[in-house]
Structure 1
Amino acid sequence: MRITRLLTAVVAAAILLPASATAASAASIGSYVALGDSYTSGPFIPVQRVDPLGCGRSTANYPSVVAAALHATRFTDVSCAGADTTNMTRPQGVPFNGTNPPQLGALRIDTDLVTLGIGGNDYGVFGSLTSTCPGLRASDPTGNPCEEHFGDSVTTTIDNIGPRVEAVLATIHERSPKARVLVIGYPRIAPEKGYCPDVLPFADGDYAWLNIIEEKLNRTLSDAADADGKAEFVDTFGPSRGHDACARGGAAWINGKDQNVFEAAAYHPLKTGMAGVAAVVLKSLR
């Protein structure tokens, strides 16, 4: 069953890629290590791994799709829901009495490829927005009550995430000096235009602000990769245009407000989103 699901995801990713990119990305790779938070691990996306179960690590997340496409001889996915940059070097307690070891412990001297998807949980950025903004919509449905509530505090906080990511990247290079290192950005949650309060219950004016916050976070990650000088930033925000939580007809990459334990966590990537992000990553590896 696991192999079948992986192959299905690989096919989905390949459909999104030009033929030349698919062929190029099929070249075999030795050792691949995936690091990151829930946007990497894929909570509730079938099939969930149990090592530990509380990490919400899916066998159909984008690292798994990428590893299958690259024919990685050794694939290690230590991504975990709730992780922030501190969990790269410290153990992370997770639900169901589990512990995820420090993620950088998975790196080896002979690691060839590392993907890092981290930053959204630092200082509680994503969690604060998704827990606070929906409750403010009723007070001003067509306004921007969440932006008014937080003011400049979120963007100021994001500025502090960059140095943390740079420190993680420096340690990755120390432990795996030959590895190609990709910093994976966050895909789009809100649409460029229009609203879908039944799916994404933010006030209408807060949709544009949410996009500004996501763009700011992704720019911070990109700047961290540039400052590092060795890592590469992979933009998924741009390629996910039209695949936001409001997208219809199966085009959405991101789940909305409803938690679905058989599909995806609220405000998190769907299986289609993981396949889409994998396609972007594979294209960047041409």
Structure 2
Amino acid sequence: MRRLAACLSVLFAALVLIAPPAAAGGPVRYVALGDSYSAASGVLPPDLTAPPQCLRSTANYPHVIAAATGAQLTDVTCGGADTGDYLTGQYPGVAPQLDAVTADTQVVTMTIGGNDSGVFIDSIIRCGIAGASTLGTGSPCKDQYGSSFQDTITTTTYPALVQVLKAVRAKAPRAEIAILGYPSILPASGGCFAQMPVATGDVPYLRGVQATLNDAIERAAKVAGVTYVDMTRVSEGHDACQPIGVRWIEPVLLGTNPVVVHPNALGEAQMAAQAMQALRRL
């Protein structure tokens, strides 16, 4: 009998350890951090409670998650944010994003890193300019910039991601924390010049830059002990070259979003779905 009691005690303790903690008398306390991919910049309707500079939408994936789960959302996502804006205010009157995270926060989501050192947006802009100069032929961007974008991600963006993810974990040690990767912007080959003004030979090059960024995010998440939500595989076939209703990212030309090369409402909904699937408390 004593042995049975001991076994039951061990079993109970194991169940307590693996079971997700229940919200104490209320909805899950959920904080959303991140950049324009988290804020859904350019997607209607706008969030009128947000600082105007942040271009936040009420159709962003944090709002979709909160509506689907009943979570109590604190949304401080802001277009243009980089990892430094977690620690210092991005704009006058806008608090550091980490200020929103407290010890009783239960869930945190974010998409961040793409704006660090301007690498992600710079690679898209510069490759677009280079592609236009050759009318979409060759690989002028790769020829000009080589590994410089990827080198900056590896040497600068990655350690910054580790730092801020550890800072989020320190502020909310019992929270489930997820960082989402960036959805695919371009198809595996070919592209769609001039809708996306990237030369044919630079399409795999730009995909390589994005892959390096997502890899840095995934590795940083592992080091910091947070969940990485992979958006690459699930977003294949939904890039900016696809038609309306299929694409999750809007192109530079003939798109529906004034903030180009960003997720549309469908893309935000799919990001929400992937995050909810990854997080036990939601």
Q: Calculate the TM-score normalised by the size of structure 1.
A: 0.84
State the Cα distance separating 1:264 from its structure 2 match: 4.5
1-side partners of 2:93 and 2:267: how far apart? Answer: 27
Q: Secondary structure at the match of 1:197?
A: coil
Which amino acid in structure 1 is aligned with residue 55 of structure 2? G
Gaps of at least 5 residues in structure 1 are 1-26
State the Cα distance separating 1:135 from its structure 2 match: 1.4
Cα distance per residue 1:177-210 (max 9 Å; x no partner):
1100101100000011332113211000111111
Name 2:36's counterpart in structure 1.
38
2-side partners of 1:139 and 1:259: how far apart? Answer: 20
Higher radius of gyration, 1 or 2:
2
Q: Which has the higher contact order (CA 8 A, sep 6+)?
A: 1
Q: Cα RMSD over matched residues?
A: 1.8
Matches within 5 A, 1:179-218: 179-218=175-214
1-side partners of 2:100 and 2:160: how far apart? Answer: 19
Cα distance per residue 1:47-90 (max 9 Å; x no partner):
11232011011000011111111210x20110111110000010
Cα distance per residue 1:218-262 (max 9 Å; x no partner):
00000001111x2010001111001000112410000111487x7
1-side partners of 2:188 and 2:147: how far apart? Answer: 21
Check whether the contact 2:186–2:203 (CA below 8 A) recurs between aligned residues: yes
Could you tell me which of 129, 138, 148 is aligned with 2:123? 129
Structure 1 position 69 matched with structure 2 position 65: no
Structure 1 position 169 matched with structure 2 position 165: yes
2-side partners of 1:152 and 1:263: how far apart? Answer: 30
Check whether the contact 1:55–1:100 (CA below 8 A) recurs between aligned residues: no
Which amino acid in structure 2 is aligned with residue 212 of structure 1? G
Check whether the contact 2:194–2:253 (CA below 8 A) recurs between aligned residues: no
Q: Secondary structure at the match of 2:59?
A: coil
Matches within 5 A, 1:241-280: 241-258=236-253, 263-280=257-274
1-side partners of 2:124 and 2:158: how far apart? Answer: 22
2-side partners of 1:135 and 1:217: how far apart? Answer: 21
Q: 1:32 to 1:264 in 2, by over 3 A?
A: farther
Gaps of at least 5 residues in structure 2 are 1-22
Name 1:116's counterpart in structure 2.
110
Q: Calculate the TM-score normalised by the size of structure 2.
A: 0.85
Percent identity reads 39
Matches within 5 A, 1:4-19: none
Q: Secondary structure at the match of 1:239?
A: helix
2-side partners of 1:198 and 1:99: how far apart? Answer: 39
Moved segments of 4+, more than 4 Å: none
Which amino acid in structure 2 is aligned with residue 65 of structure 1? V
Q: Secondary structure at the match of 1:214?
A: helix
Name 1:15's counterpart in structure 2.
none
**Which stretch has the larger CA shift, 194-203 or 34-43?**
194-203
Name 1:57's counterpart in structure 2.
56
Which amino acid in structure 2 is aligned with residue 180 of structure 1? E
